[in-house]
Amino acid sequence: MPSIAAVLIVRNEEDTLGACLESLRCAADEIVVCDTGSTDRTIAIAEAYGARVCHCAWREDFAAARNFALEHAQSDWVLGIDADEQIEDPEAAGHFLSAFVENRDARTVGTVEIVNVVGAGASAQEVIDQTERFFPRATFHYEGAIHEQILPRTGVKLSAPTGVRLLHSGYLHIEEKAARNKRLLEAESARHPNDEYVLYQLGKAHFSLKEYREAAAALETAARLIRFEEGAAPQGRLGPVSREVLTGLAVSLAYAYVNTDKTDQAAALLEEHARRAHAGTRRADFYHAMGYVHLMLGNLKRARAAYLESIRLGPALEDVRGTGSFSSAYHLGLLAEAEGDVGAALAFYHQAIRLKPDYAPALSRCIDLIVEQQAPLPPDLSAVCDRAAFTTAYRERLLAFLKRGDTAGAAVLVQAAAGFSAELLQACRNELSAYLQESGGSAH
């Protein structure tokens, strides 16, 4: 069997490198770690896992560093991986990669699914990427100072999924990476001013930094550079534009417009892409964005149709988790509320919670409707929700009523808790007791 090398470039990765290398034990015959100037324990950790360590001066060029690392690998095939990633199921990944090598020729690059956790806390999102990472070492190399791409040394490139899944934690503090990426992408765009992919990534970096006007400008230019022709795949500077870029470009530009008070323009953009019916529009994320834009414009009928389409496409066609499932169901609940149909709203919130039992926005709306509309909690909510998350949300809402002196609202919540479960009622009593002790009040 041809051999497989896992190849990394690193710098000060002591917090994550061990877990990454541990996950490679069943998937790679050799590990090559290219260090670009670590001052912590990174090198020692790599050597402890038996990695071949090489050293490369950092020149603000990811492709150059990765190609340098490739020169120190000896295996036939290469899996590119970062220190803040790890294989979800190492044993299965080993089988997947071996099968890929057996069944694919030297023109084929393998994609992996990467689950990126973006942000932290309640606002965190899971973003799914299908990214090219696995290839024959003799046939391909990297190009691009940042967001580098795997390109053939000669001839054409084919692509196919490997089945491998990676977990990526590097976007927990996305602003730090976005600031670095913006600087490198601006330099890369100066070198390749007509590269739609570089401009797309630059727009995303601006968006992550909440620089929405700059994001829109970069994304608009990227969109203009793509050649859309009837009956043909959209083309960029280096050939066909990937589905991921097409979806991300349309959706990110629409949200950038919304954040710069150009919601009408966002709607027109998405409708135009829908008419073109290119591959990027056949995703839950695209119709979720369309639903949101039309909801902001008050076009409830069009918003509902878009959200229903995103749910029809479903979780298998999500880039951001929830766009084809719980988040769209939640927004359909908001639409039902706007039309005065509380029963339908609760049904949609219940659907969202069933799909994601700890989904805070839907849990919160169920609680708010108790006071706002005297609506009962869905009878089987306790069977589908995350009870700890629901109890926490309930106690927080009760405390908010108490702090603003709304004793009537607090009483309604306590009464509803009594009809829901003894556990929730006790949690409310505990919250009341703690509040009264802290405020010096008394209970009656």
- Give residue 60's pLDDT: 92
Do 178 and 265 share a domain, yes or no? Answer: yes
Cα–Cα dist 82/381, whole Å:
41
Instruction: Give the pLDDT band (50/70/90) at residue 443.
Output: very low
Instruction: Give the pLDDT band (50/70/90) at residue 437.
Output: confident
Instruction: Give the pLDDT band (50/70/90) at residue 106.
Output: very high
Do 87 and 107 share a domain, yes or no? Answer: yes
Give pLDDT tens digits for 351-394: 999 999 999 999 999 999 999 998 888 778 989 999 999 999 99
Last residue of a domain, one of 278, 307, 328: 278
**Is pLDDT at 12 greater than 70 in this prediction?**
yes
Q: Whole-prediction pTM value?
A: 0.88
CB 185 within 8 A of CB 198: yes
- Give residue 172's pLDDT: 66
By CB neighbour count within 10 A (0-12 exposed, 13-18 middle, 19+ buried), where does 366 fall?
Answer: buried
**Is pLDDT at 75 greater than 90 in this prediction?**
yes
Average pLDDT score, the chain:
94
Of 175 and 369, the structure prediction assigns the larger pLDDT to 369
Last residue of a domain, one of 248, 278, 308: 278
Question: What's the whole-number mean pLDDT along residues 13-27?
Answer: 96
Question: What's the whole-number mean pLDDT along residues 199-212?
Answer: 96
Last residue of a domain, one of 319, 335, 370: 370
Give pLDDT tens digits for 393-424: 999 999 999 999 999 999 999 999 998 889 99
Cα–Cα dist 22/35, whole Å:
18
Do 149 and 45 share a domain, yes or no? Answer: yes
The total number of residues written for the chain in this structure: 444
Cα–Cα dist 133/93, whole Å:
13
Do 156 and 258 share a domain, yes or no? Answer: no
- Give residue 178's pLDDT: 87
- Give residue 268's pLDDT: 98
Do 13 and 131 share a domain, yes or no? Answer: yes
Give pLDDT tens digits for 304-316: 999 999 999 999 9
Q: 427: Cβ–Cβ under 8 A, 6 or more apart, which residues?
A: 391, 394, 395, 417
Of 117 and 134, the structure prediction assigns the larger pLDDT to 134
Pairing type for strands 30-35 and 4-10 reads parallel
Do 24 and 149 share a domain, yes or no? Answer: yes
Note down the domain range covering 206.
173-278
**Is pLDDT at 215 greater than 80 in this prediction?**
yes
- Give residue 169's pLDDT: 87
- Give residue 175's pLDDT: 77
**Is pLDDT at 444 greater than 50 in this prediction?**
no
Q: What is the DSSP letter of 363?
A: H
Residue 287 forms part of a structural domain: yes
Give pLDDT tens digits for 330-356: 999 999 999 999 999 999 999 999 999
